[in-house]
Structure 1
Amino acid sequence: MKNKRNVFSLLFLTSFFLVFSGQAQEKKTLFIILDGIQRELLLKNPTPHLDQVMAEGGYYPAHVGGMRGGYSQTPTISAVGYNSLLTGVWVNKHNVKGNSIRRPNYHYWTIFRHFKENYPHKTTAVYSTWLDNRTKLVGENLEATGKLQLDYHFDGLEVDTLGIPHDEQSDYIREIDRKVAAYAANDVREKGPDLTWVYLQHTDDMGHRYGVSPQMDSAIQEADRQVGLIWSAIREREKKCNEDWLLLITTDHGRGDGGFHHGGQTDEERATWIVSNKALNEIASRTPGIVDLFPTMAEHMQLSIPKNQAMEVDGVSLLGEAHASHLSGSLSGSNLSLDWKGYGKGKKGLVWVTPTNQFRYGNSDLYRLLGEVSLEEESANFDLQIAPDNLKVVLELPTGFLNVWVNAAD
């Protein structure tokens, strides 16, 4: 009887430990931008490592470029896309209009700044083939970003023309990508940063130089091998360290004109994709935007974002329960009409409006509550009693927010 009791106690303690360990799983996020890979070429090429990630989560057609022809229309240019991902807002807010990155509006915080505000003692990392990603977009050590500090980084090799001689064929960028991916994989394996950005550039160089071509195909397959190094390191961490990793892989723009160019608003230039190791919610089936990755990462990392900042985010989480998406509106005199896509039944939302846009200057907007709406009805109308020229409208969901700017009809 004594031996049986000992066995029972051991089994109980083992089961308790396993359950407890599952609850205590540490959440980590890593996102990769593979520059300028158009959707059709990603699907055409053999990508066994990306396929492994998709098998655990999925592949999702996505978009960049904001509202085509509207207030948030956003150039399909590299740094513009990176910053839309980092901040969760389009160019009319973050103000990065090109690769020169002249005047970012740091009032729209990056995911890194929110993360450090929530978890000062957790670690962040950037591994990049472009130095400006860390120094200008994330804004490390700038007054405007609160002197934000990253814990780990590996970048700047592209400015070392002596150590890595430049060549017209851009082979040096391919070599830098290899070094960046290998360094990132090693740090993931040994240090396990909590929030990590990996950026690889060579595919974009091949697109600009050769368009749709064997060279571009080769670059995509090379990028897949580099993803495989990082994915292997993540899998090792998950097994050995009881960690729950979210891996998001995307591109910053599509390509038009035979695969050579981007920057405009054609369907081909706006068309992107997302690969995730986790199955995403119903919103992901409706061609999500690059801005949706910010709230998705915030959801996974359980970030608490102040309400005035969360109300500005243009994206919506692709993880967890879906409530609503695709908010649009119109003004006709004093009548405000709103439409959205609702998910599920019995859910309610609150509609807030303000005629000001003081947030962009670091100040607060004074919102007026119009009332409650049923999300499953997917539309609502309000008599404002006045006829404003424009309104910033926010739909508060059970978790998260949607926003849209509405101008009076001409």
Structure 2
Amino acid sequence: MGRNRLLLIGLDGVRLDTLREARTPNIDTISAAGFFAPVEVSRQAPSASGASWSTIATGVWPAKHGVIENDFVDHRLADFPDFLSRLRHEVPGLKTYVGVAWPPLVDDVPGPVYQGGGVLADTGNGGVADDDRTAVSAAKALSDGSVHVSFLHFDLCDHIGHEQGPGPAYTAAVEDSDHRIGLVLKGIQARPSYAEEDWTYVVTTDHGHRDGGGHGGDSDAERTAWIAASGPGVPSTPPRSLEQVDIHAHALSVFGVDPAPDWQLDGRPFGRDD
């Protein structure tokens, strides 16, 4: 474990073209120190949050983890644990943190995607209030240096995408989300021990949105997601075959964990030689 730390941040429902148009200095900094690349959402399930976040967390495709829709009917998440659970089991003393605004990610019903529990924002106050609480709680939790691996989820962009579709408010939501990322990074980087640590940062989305708002279909706008990453072992050029399942595999590699064959992982670390 040593100096290694990893933070995965999920921004729900952010279109690639909107992200490129928005002012996102914090995501840009992470991308510049590593790579930024589009990825295709698996066609084994609709372009929905449940399926994609489960794929990212478990490192296997929907045909294995069984999450097809957001109702999580007949899921097999217990058979394919999230990367935080894997790491806690494999690395003695490793501590994890989850902060989210979408209940299935940490609640027993209908999920959870992350089986070790986590902090659920005070949902029901609207996307802005929920994401603000997630950011403030995470900045505090990650500021003392005790957490090694964490996952944060911000939901505002998806709310606006559904309600208004891509447009000025949607772009503003992306920029607000980047600001929240900055608040969390500021909390981490202000620690006296930060300079002695090796941090891997990953920012990603689960799906895009149609031009009129909403998702679940097969259009390029809905099926195109993206990954930004930096840190030790992260190449400056993204792998040619980059996939959402690779995030789980890379998280394991950061802490020197080799997946067992019976884990049936579908991804590979970012630094592999294609």
Do Structure 1 and Structure 2 share a fold, with TM-score over 0.5?
yes
Secondary structure at 1:121's aligned position in 2?
coil
Select the residue among 16, 35, 38 that pairs with 1:61: 38
Please name the residue that 1:182 is paired with. Answer: 136
Contact persistence 2:238–2:270 (CA under 8 A): yes
Q: In the alignment, what sits opposite 2:228?
A: 275
Offset of residue 139 of structure 1? 5.3
The answer to whether the Cα contact below 8 Å between 1:283 and 1:318 also exists between their aligned partners in 2 is no
Give the deviation of 1:237 after TM superposition: 4.1
Identity of aligned residues (%): 25
1:71-150 maps to which residues of 2 (within 5 A)?
Answer: 73-105=44-76, 106-135=78-107, 136-138=111-113, 140=115, 149-150=116-117
State the partner residue of 1:33: 10
| Structure-2 residue corresponding to 1:143 | none
Q: Deviations over 1:259-310 (max 9, x none)?
A: 512112222211111111237348824252111111011111212322221x
Q: What SS is found at the alignment partner of 1:246?
A: strand
Asked if 1:299 is matched to 2:270, the reply is no
Question: SS of the counterpart of 2:112?
Answer: helix
Between 1 and 2, higher relative CO (CA 8 Å, sep ≥ 6) is seen in 2
Deviations 1:127-165 (A, max 9, x none): 00012201223354xxxxxxxx45xx3215115xxxx4x
Partner residue in 2 for 1:286: 240
Q: Which whole-Å deviations, capped at 9, do the CAs of 1:24-69 have from their partners, x for residues lacking one?
A: 8521111011000000000001111212222222211222124xxx
Aligned to 1:266: 219
Q: Which runs of 5+ in 1 are unaligned?
A: 1-23, 67-72, 141-148, 165-171, 323-342, 344-410
1:390-409 alignment, distance < 5 Å? none
CA, structure 1 residues 139+52, in 2 after alignment: closer, same or farther (shift >3 Å)?
closer
User: Judging changes above 3 Å, is the alpha-carbon distance between structure 1 residues 120 and 51 closer, same or farther for their aligned structure 2 residues?
Assistant: same
Structure 1 position 316 matched with structure 2 position 268: yes
- What is the TM-score with the length of structure 1 in the denominator? 0.62
Q: How does 1:133-282 map to 2 (within 5 A)?
A: 133-135=105-107, 136-138=111-113, 140=115, 149-150=116-117, 153-158=118-123, 164=125, 172-237=126-191, 240=194, 242-256=196-210, 258-278=211-231, 280-281=234-235
- Label 1:86 to 1:238 Cα distance change in 2 as closer, same or farther (>3 A): farther
> Unmatched 5+ residue regions in structure 2?
none
Q: What is residue 358 of structure 1 aligned with on the other side?
A: none
SS across alignment from 1:104:
coil
Aligned to 1:349: none
**1:234/1:245 contact within 8 Å kept:** no
Q: CA 1:121–1:138 in structure 2 vs 1: closer, same or farther (change >3 Å)?
A: farther
SS in 1 for 2:123: helix
RMSD between superposed Cα atoms in Å: 2.1
Separation in structure 2 between the aligned mates of residue 111 and residue 99 of structure 1, nearest angstrom: 20
Secondary structure in structure 1 of the residue aligned to 2:5: strand
One-letter amino acid of the structure 1 residue matched with residue 168 of structure 2 = P
TM-score (norm: length of structure 2): 0.90
Higher radius of gyration, 1 or 2? 1
1:271 & 1:33 partners in 2: Cα distance? 15
> Residues 239 and 270 of structure 2 are in contact (CA less than 8 Å); yes or no, is this contact kept in structure 1?
no
Instruction: Please report how far the alpha carbon of residue 188 of structure 1 lies from its aligned counterpart in structure 2 after TM superposition.
Output: 0.9
Q: What are the superposed Cα offsets for residues 67-107 of structure 1, whole Å, 9 maximum, x if unpaired? A: xxxxxx22210011100001111111100111112222121
